[in-house]
Amino acid sequence: MFINRERIIGIIEYPIVRTYIEGEEYDEVVEKIYRLLPKKNCGKCGYNSCYECAIAIARGIAPPDACRVVGYKIESDIRQILMSGLK
């Protein structure tokens, strides 16, 4: 069985996001992440839609580069969004 090490690191790296971002702030983080995604709903990330992927990233379930279409291009932007949501 193939295990994506980056995905595991992403889950460990952002558990605090799940705990401290809530309510409107959480919704705002999800929306900001979603705006960066391609909205192709291709499922390559393992989620049914780009919006579901954005939710998973915001919760710390998926890594910032979870999108297999543009993840490598937007990873640093997503990390900044996640960190700004903790303030």
Give per-residue pLDDT as tens, 20-45. Answer: 566 788 889 999 999 999 999 999 99
Residues 72 and 18: their CA atoms lie apart, in Å, by: 22
Which run of H or E residues covers position 49?
none
Residues 86 and 48: their CA atoms lie apart, in Å, by: 27
pTM of the model: 0.74
CA-closest candidate to residue 60, choices 20, 1, 2:
20
pLDDT at position 49: 97
Q: What percent of the chain has pLDDT over 70?
A: 71
The CATH number that domain 5-84 falls under is 1.10.15.40
Delimit the domains of the chain by residue range: 5-84
